[in-house]
Structure 1
């Protein structure tokens, strides 16, 4: 599937393009409303509203007047008025920043299921690739350099949770609450044990860095370790 990303903030564009690519999407990027309106029709449009030349709502209106392309607004504007106007102008969905890539992918797939002709659109591959590691979330399988790595259920859950937040520092408390649903009462020793297990099984292909007294961040290591 080929996605047109209309976004003027390079700090948003980089992570978003990498995230979409992991799910098998091709992304064309433009940073102005004029460029968006001049672009060829693709399979889906992700449209920011805060563009430097034209209000994104005007771009939404014009794109919808030209075609029935699936269109999702991605914006920092979170007022009820903006949401309602965007949807009334023809957007298929409205997602407020910041958001997780998994939520965006789910919304994109839902839009295509609802959209006329959506069944004919190629779906993204099942494998999500992080350097040397590939993850099949539906089958709960992980592969390192093409070889399957057996993970216990909580190890897999921890891997998925951190991979959704690549390079972001996540506190111990947040990880425990989200992965173990401990509500703050669980022992973080359990977390340390699972982090150590993942480090041993993934061989630093996905490094889990520890910031003492705070938490962990996951970083992709694309190169093989030196001898």
Structure 2
């Protein structure tokens, strides 16, 4: 069975070009704007979403953020703009990769295959439940839930993936570049603040629940590592 890809672009020529490149290997669905894209995402399951940034009514960034509130489907953003701030903004709202127009078909196919392969690999390697501190912190993989003292915390898909990656290797110190490579598929040091932003969001959400416990701690000059819950934190 073919994997399903949603193409979101208001330009017919671009949608048609993408279909030409991808339709042999994938089942293609099209949306001409963000409103239609969100309707399709709510009612159907896709393996990958190709999302243009410059859309009518809603920007691709806004659409990406809305999708991330619902599903963890990989998102490859497409843009004619090559500014670093645009790339960082897309990654911060939950995009998995970024492709600059115009692009060669070989590069598009390689990015698509890499995203789908990374999702398959992550799914195969994950344990179903991680539990720490006699159940004080529980990470449920299939339901994508995080609980501290039985209190559920709401994380975006990328925040969940980041916490899971670090928690599943509790003795390892991760550099920003390694985390970028694992979770976003590249390790450009210029985008390191993307990692910092997601970790800050995780910490803020934990504190907002009233817990004096940070599951990810900073190793100064190196990166980040997991912190085990213990009796010293307050709830």
TM-score if structure 1 supplies the norm length?
0.50
Structure with max Cα Rg: 1
TM-score if structure 2 supplies the norm length?
0.48
